[in-house]
Amino acid sequence: MMDLGPPLLSVQGMTKFYGRLVGCRDVGFDLWPGEVLCVVGESGSGKTTLLNCLNGGLEPTSGSIKYETRHEGTVEITTLSEAKRRFLSRTDWGIVYQNPRDGLRMRVSAGANIGERLMAVGARHYGNIRSEAATWLRNIEIDEDRIDDPPSTFSGGMQQRLQIARNLVTKPRLVFMDEPTGGLDVSVQARLLDLLRGLVTELDIAAIIVTHDLAVARLLGHRLMVMQGGRVVESGLTDQVLDDPHHPHTQLLVSAILTP
């Protein structure tokens, strides 16, 4: 078999209880550099809980998350000091929230929103930060003239694109996204998906994308994990899982899609 090298992220036995309620249970998978993993399932299936356990937003009840860092070898995320975890999450990771308001600073300009991570890792040249911000605005198809406007004056689709730029500006190796197209009009969704697909490929970013939209998964995901009741019920190559689903729940999800 071919050598895939070490995985970027290796998750084992990830379990989260909310009191007696199960958030997610015994989830395990490996993610390789540049790989996009989509997690699908109905509301309450545990996919967002899983995402938050992985990105440090929630403390898992048990389980292990090993991450291959750029310079310090493999680290165990669940026992990593908060300082190092936060440093990772603003340099090597990106987190894109469903609601852009959760991921943007709504009262500072678009340029500053993009520049913040650069400044956080030590960029101290205003001109360079600003031109990098302008480049990213072009990347996400927002008029450069809007660089000094706050995101509160942007449409939902623009805000979501800005949130993505803000995360990708430091060229992270792993991005977590929670329903990135949720709450957007279908036409706006298409534009965002196209953009995401291009950026993820171009920058060779690994991503874990939680979505309930199987079309999003098919378009973006190399691999797919289907969750139900907190557990992963089926996983594999995206088109294989969608075109030849084996688990009853996956078959139900796939058969429930309306094809226009």
CB atoms within 10 A of CB 145: 9
Find out whether 191 and 181 touch, Cβ atoms under 8 Å: no
Closest approach of other proteins to the CB of residue 245, in Å: 9
Q: Which is nearer to other proteins, 15 or 164 (CB)?
A: 164
Task: Give the Cα-Cα-Cα angle 124, 128, 133 (nearest 5 degrees).
Answer: 110
Q: Which is nearer to other proteins, 21 or 125 (CB)?
A: 125
Q: Which is nearer to other proteins, 52 or 238 (CB)?
A: 238
In sign, the C-alpha dihedral spanning 205, 208, 209, 214 is positive
Closest approach of other proteins to the CB of residue 248, in Å: 4
Binding site for other proteins (CB under 8 A): 1-2, 4, 32, 35, 82-83, 86-87, 90, 105, 108-109, 111-112, 115-117, 119-121, 124-127, 129-130, 147-148, 190-191, 193-194, 197, 201, 219, 222-223, 236-237, 239-240, 243-244, 246-248, 251-252, 255
Q: Which is nearer to other proteins, 64 or 240 (CB)?
A: 240
DSSP one-letter string for 197-249: HHHHHHHT-EEEEEES-HHHHHHH-SEEEEEETTEEEEEEEHHHHHHS--SHH
Closest approach of other proteins to the CB of residue 66, in Å: 17
Closest approach of other proteins to the CB of residue 256, in Å: 10
Find out whether 24 and 61 touch, Cβ atoms under 8 Å: no
